[in-house]
């Protein structure tokens, strides 16, 4: 964060570790990546579109 965050870097790391599982199988499952959505993502971009699982906001516990 280069000193710009609301929390220090150690606290942010703790929050990330508590809230996210970066194992490949979990990423595939959580983002529902086994469903082909190539046509939808190739039109008009796919950032900020709530129909895609990776755009859904996740509640964070700290």
Query: What does the pLDDT look like over 18-45, one tens digit per residue?
Result: 999 999 999 999 888 888 776 677 776 6
Residue 27, domain member (yes or no): yes
- The reported pTM is 0.57
Cβ contacts of 47 within 8 Å, gap of 6 or more? 55
Using CA atoms, how far residue 17 sits from 1, 9, 21, 29, 39, in Å, is 17, 12, 7, 18, 33
Name the token pair of 17. 């570790």
Model confidence at 11: pLDDT above 90: yes
Asked if residue 35 belongs to a domain, the reply is: yes
Mean pLDDT of 1-9: 87
Domain of residue 22, CATH code:
3.30.300.10
Q: Is residue 62 part of a domain?
A: no
Whether residue 22 lies inside any domain: the answer is yes
Considering its fold, how many domains does the chain have in total? 1
pLDDT score, position 46: 65
pLDDT digits (tens, 9 = 90+) for 48-59: 777 777 788 888
């Amino acid at each position: 964060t280069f000193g710009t965050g609301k929390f220090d870097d150690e606290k942010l790391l703790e929050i990330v570790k508590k809230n996210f599982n970066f194992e490949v199988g979990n990423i595939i499952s959580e983002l529902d990546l086994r469903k082909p959505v190539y046509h939808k993502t190739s039109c008009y971009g796919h950032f900020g579109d709530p129909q895609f699982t990776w755009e859904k906001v996740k509640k964070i516990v700290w």
